[in-house]
Structure 1
Amino acid sequence: MEATATAAGPSRNPLFHFYANAIKFIAGSSMLVIVVIMIVQVAARYLFNASLIWAEELCRYILIWQTFLLIGFAYHQGELVALDMLGKRVNPYVKLLIRFIVSAPVCVFLYFIIVSGWNNAVRFTGQSIPAVDFIWTSLTGAPAGLPVFWVYVAVPVGCSVLLIHFVVRFALDAYRVATGQDTHDQPAPQEEILPL
C-alpha cells in the first residue's frame, strides 16, 4: 500500500524527505536509548547486585512513542499487513472505489481514537511520571513534575500522523486514476518513494 513514483509525478519532495529523515533519526536514536538503558540495567543487576527501578518504565514510555510516531511512516512504506486479492484484475476506478470503502471506516475510527485519546491524555495532566521524577530527583534533588499527559498524548499524535498518511495516499491514488495512471501495488525501491 505504498505510493511509488511515476514518470508523471515528482519523485523528490524536500519536505517529505525532511520528515522521513527525522522519523528515521527518531527511530534509531530512541532504539539506541532503549538498548543502552537495558544493557545498563542488566549490568547493574547481575554485576553489581543493584537495580535501576526506573529503567523498565522509561523504556516502556519510549517504546509507546516509537510505536505511535512510526506507524504512519510504516504505512507509507508499505510495511503494514495488507490483503489485496484483486490486484491488477480490476480496472483502476473499481480499485479506487474499493480503497475508499476500506479507507473511509479506518479514517473515521482514527478520528474517534484521536478525540478520545486526547480527552484521556488531558485527564492525566495532574499526575507526574514516576520514572522521570525519580531520575530528576536523583540529579537535582527536586522532582521534575513532568505529567503523564506526555505519555498518553502519543496515541492522538500517532493516530493523527497515520490519518494524514491515509488521506494523502487516497488523494494521490485518486489523482493517478483521474490522470489515467494506475495506482501502484508493488513495492518500489526506496529512492522512488513519492511523498506520502
Structure 2
Amino acid sequence: MTSSSTPPNAESSLRAPTIEDPSVYLDDPNRKLLEIDTETRQGPALFRWLTLGMEYLIGAILVALIVAVSSNVVGRSLFNHSLPWVDELARMLFIWLVFIGAAAAFARYEHIAVDALVRRLPLRFAHMLYCLQHLIIAGLMLVMVFGGYQVLSRSSGRSAIMGVPLSLVSLSLVLCVIFIAAVSLWRVWMSVRVIVQPHGQSAESQGE
C-alpha cells in the first residue's frame, strides 16, 4: 500500500484566503467619543434626532425624485408628452438632497477622510488633530452661514414654472452649514475634554 501525503506548502496553498474584517478600516477607536449614533444613543439627543429626521427626509426626497423623473421618462416614451414643471421640481429636490445628505453624512462620519495617521496616534494626540480639524470646519461653516444668509435675504425671485420662491432652495444650504457648524463645535468641546483630562484617565478611555 502506498499512501500519498500532501506537502505542508501545498496544504497551506489550498486553504481559503483569510478575509480581513472591513470594520478595521471603518471604525476608528480614537473618535468613538465624537460619533453620533442613534442606535447606541451616542452623542447629544438633539443631534441624534436631527440626524434621524434628516435620514427620513432624504428617503422621502429620493422617492419623490425617482417618481418625478420616471413620470417624465414614461410620458415621453409612451405618450410623447412631458410635464414641464417636473424637471424644475427635480432640480430643487436634488439640491435639497445634496445638502441634507451632506449634513447627515457629516454627523455619521461618512465623508471621505484620510485617517491613516490619526488612527496610529495616542488618544490625546489624535484628539488634538480632531480639535484642529473641527475648528477649521466650524470656521468655514460660519463663513458659509454668513454668505448663505446674504443669498437667502436677497433671493426675492421665483422659479420660472412652479413659482416657488428661490429662497426656499437656498434655505437647504443654510440649514446644512448651521448643523455642521453645531456638530463641529460639539466635537471640539469633546476633544478639548479628552486633551485636558489626566493621562491615566485618557489611557482608560482609550482602553474602553
Query: TM-score interval w.r.t. the shorter chain?
Result: 0.7 to 0.9
| Percentage of identical aligned residues | 17
- Asked which structure has the greater RCO (Cα within 8 Å, sep 6+), the reply is 1
| Residue correspondence of structure 1 range 34-49 to structure 2 within 5 A | 34-49=65-80
Compared CA separation, residues 171 and 121, structure 1 to 2 (3 A): same
Which letter maps to 2:189? A
Q: 1:75 & 1:121 partners in 2: Cα distance?
A: 23
Q: How far is the alpha carbon of 1:118 from its aligned partner?
A: 1.1
Give the Cα–Cα distance (whole angstroms) in 2 for the partners of residues 13 and 78 of structure 1. 15
After superposition, what is the alpha-carbon deviation per residue over 1:18-75, rounded to whole angstroms, capped at 9, x for unaligned?
3233112101111000011111110111111111111122111111112212222211
Question: 1:142-178, CA deviations, whole angstroms, 9 ceiling, x for partnerless residues?
Answer: xxxx421111122121111111121222323333453
- One-letter code aligned to 1:119: Q
Aligned partners of 1:87, 1:108: CA distance in 2, in Å? 21
Moved more, 60-69 or 169-178: 169-178
Structure 1, unaligned stretches of length 5 or more?
134-145, 185-196
Residue pair 1:68, 1:155 contacting (<8 A) in 2 also: yes
Q: Please name the residue that 1:182 is paired with.
A: 206
Deviation at 1:99, TM superposition (A): 1.9
| Distance (whole Å) between structure 2 residues aligned to residue 14 and residue 114 of structure 1 | 23
Whether the aligned pair in 1 keeps the contact of 2:55 and 2:104 (CA below 8 Å) is no
Task: Point out the structure with the larger helix share.
Answer: 2
Select the structure of larger CA radius of gyration.
Answer: 2
Following TM superposition, by how much is the alpha carbon of 1:78 offset from its aligned partner in structure 2, in angstroms? Answer: 1.7
User: Does the 8 A contact of 1:129 with 1:147 survive in 2?
Assistant: yes
1:112 Cα offset (Å): 0.8
Amino acid of the residue matched to residue 173 of structure 2?
Answer: V
- Equivalent-residue separation in structure 2 for 1:128 and 1:113 (angstroms): 23
Q: CA RMSD in A?
A: 2.7
Unaligned runs of 5+ in 2: 1-30
Matches within 5 A, 1:138-157: 146-157=164-175
For normalisation by structure 1, the TM-score amounts to: 0.74
Matches of residues 1-196 of structure 1 in structure 2 within 5 Å? 3-4=34-35, 11=42, 15-125=46-156, 127-133=157-163, 146-177=164-195, 178=197, 180=202, 181-182=205-206
Range with bigger deviation, 98-107 or 74-83: 98-107
